[in-house]
Structure 1
């Protein structure tokens, strides 16, 4: 074990990495500074990520951010080791750290792959907003109905007052009403149920429960109904559970689990106990969604606040006398209700039908009375008879049944309704009939089908896009790895060849003939040229494939930095126009463009006392920059050739040049949405013009 640690921290017979740089101070400092700054950046980035994860605990997949932190810290450590090995060749330690970095990187990449489809499957804010808008429209319609009902009730109360005065004035009328009391008693319960329906609140909330992630999305009115401040659409199962009345919780959870297990629609009434002590009644309805293999993946549904309905039922039970007096007014409400209403006896014959239901069926009101539902609507009657039987036998209502079919009104059009079934009972709780409400939802069902179709298409497109992006990322990683390997495997032998040629020259000293010395110099120049080609190819391959920071750039200051770094001869003059702009752009890329163009003008000038001018003209969406020199110029037939990679106008033995610089410039400018062209004639100087976006 001690041998392992000795090997790990031992330099052995290795030489420091600085030898690869020939201990050139400028090159050593360049790598030292770059690796140090990269390490500093890598260590600072995880702090920001950890702060984000800590503040946003509701973020999905927040553990992947922690993996990214570990990956970034490991990368920063490898760069610190690159600084250390400049002087201390502990390459075993460096390799172990890189192996650790590789492990963390591979783990992060593997864990990221299954997350991408799940992230793409999350509903977008636009989709939720559209669904919420549809719900708000329905709520507005229900509020309108409720306002109409309130108006009817106000009229009802006024009429009751008038009738009461009349009854007080006429004892004879009162005695007649008293004698009819027993006859009307059976009808009172019928009208009580109609009044319950008329007073029932029309507001409702929606929810979407992802069973796999255990995430729940609520509409704003759902949050308000449950006593939460609207604004956080993503909720948890615990948020729901904390509001359900403890006496109802076990029953409701059992109903939900039965729905998930059997696939039947979930339908349950229960109470809410809010933090301020307020008690609310709600009616929940939901439906289970399944994947292609039949496994439940989620539930969607609605919740309706029926507190007012419950209170109204209690009030109506306590005021039978008032209900009897309002008999005529209730009759009017029943006749003019905007939804279909009917009453069946225990043999399922129509006893009463309102005009709305008659219009839905396409048959006059009188034609319904005395006939069964099956006789009027054969297919719909056959479907609903089991429900009628259930209501009569159990004495319990059945809510929100979706009915699909056709009616004589439109025999060629398939339609959908939401139907509720209420048992009508006598005082001894004996069921004497069924009250039915029917609301048409054909347009909504068609919209839901179309929305589902569009959602499925979007999911398919997102899946294809995710696969393409993953493949593209893999190809880019392979290209980066290939470039790194080629660079390392080519540049290391090249440096060794150059070093060996110098050692041979030093060892032979004066014994080396001038011809051989010149050949060694030529060998080194060819090696440096090949190294320049490798570096140029790497730089060309990276253009457009790496993200570059957008900064505020003062172009005049940028140009002076470029000129200072190029250090031209004192006799070579470079003039910068005073109207250079300030813009938000990718500073590194603009620096690279100007550096290549200016150095190209200096390098290919035929005099040491040349002149160069850098100017700019403003366009609507672009700036047009020009770099003009008074050099030997370029013949027109070469204007396009110079932008091709590896193309030069002079022999490489005559002038060292890789032929990559201008091709990189063209690739950068076109990648940013601009263009570049040349204006030149032989012995008349050269002007390179290019456009660059303002933002």
Structure 2
């Protein structure tokens, strides 16, 4: 209940003062109209109840009248029978004239009540029957007929039974009417009481409504006074702000004349406030400028109506010394006593800055054209370098293959006549040839690392590492474990495959035993993944940890361990080109951990610095 009351108060406070005042005036008016309507309705019902009572009384009067008419007719006929004086038939003759109209009127009065209507019709039949008996008696008296005592007694008995039947029917009829009369009198009394209660309630509601209206009007008067105070304070604050704002501010009356001029406007135009008071604000503009003419065309609406919020016009202002300068003008949509606040800003510095920016934009466009030309030249150079590297590697590999083949042929031709020393020299020659071939392949792979246009595909890293391990075919005694779930994401698979292959291959080949352990793991760093390859080999001395990423650098002599020394250099180049980092954590005798990061969202590689991915490796 309290929540509903708070909601109502909040909604009431949100209504405009005009609306609340109208409601306050309407409350007593509504109470008055409600009271009048209620009184009218209840009065109408009371009149209807009174009409019902009057109607029932009229029915009773008619029924009594019919009974009296028959009784008078019977009395007159008996007197005439005894005294033979026709003057005694006056009541009988009157009954003949009035009884039927009375009974017909009674039927009309009760026609809405089927039961009473039936009784009224029966009453009419019995009354007519009795009147016929009386008419026969009068006729016999007029004719001078006299019957025996028994006949006379039978006639009297028949008349008495007819009269008793009439009394019985009329008693039932009047009993029902008296019952209806009682009900209608009680309904009339209830309506009268209800009408009186409604009048008192209407008076009470009217008094309450009037008190409520007075209370609301008092609250509105208090709110208007408080609002007027706040408005004056707000106006004072606005005037204080206007006096210290960095833009020029003018208060303009509905005719466009200047009423106030702040300090910033004084500095901007060079006029003192007392010099421009009463001027039309157009006198501060250069009317010949095109932007100014556009503003002046709109100016009548700008002063008379609230301008669009945020609408700004450019124009040319004119200082006291005649100097012209560009300005921006805006009119606020809040009026103080129909006045408008015009805000004027000097945009000379901004236009100068815009001109400088335009010059810089032109210069940047020229530089961009130059850069595009350089990129095109770079693409051409890269293409030529790729062709040169491929041709060079192919042309160098061909003599090397020939040397290896010649050494085998020589060894086959000499057969058993070749000394062991010569045979050893031939084998050393072939090893040097194979090393040279590996150096050329590594050099070609290094030159292409990070510049190959590899498509972006969805990669299941776990399954891919399993395929890499199968390809490397480590000894059965070697243990390689994937210790954490590997991610599946969209990336360039070929470069990632090269990095993982080189690092896992290094861990296997450089392990001092055939029963080493390699552990591969990955963690999610938000926008990238960090992969780790751990091996429990000999580790790397701290002084050598920076040299391992240099191409063709090896930690052991190549005669002791066949190794080109290009794998880690290729790895670092690929990881760096893909926006990642690589680091080594190692202590001698405790193995080594290579950690590298790989972006979830691949970098956009400039086509000018890349070359198409080769369809297949060239083996020579």
Fold shared by both chains (TM-score > 0.5): no
Which is richer in strand? Answer: 1
Higher Rg of the two aligned structures: 2
TM-score range, shorter chain: 0.3 to 0.5
Q: Higher relative CO (CA 8 A, sep ≥ 6), structure 1 or 2?
A: 2
Which is richer in helix? Answer: 2
Relative to the length of structure 1, the TM-score reads: 0.37
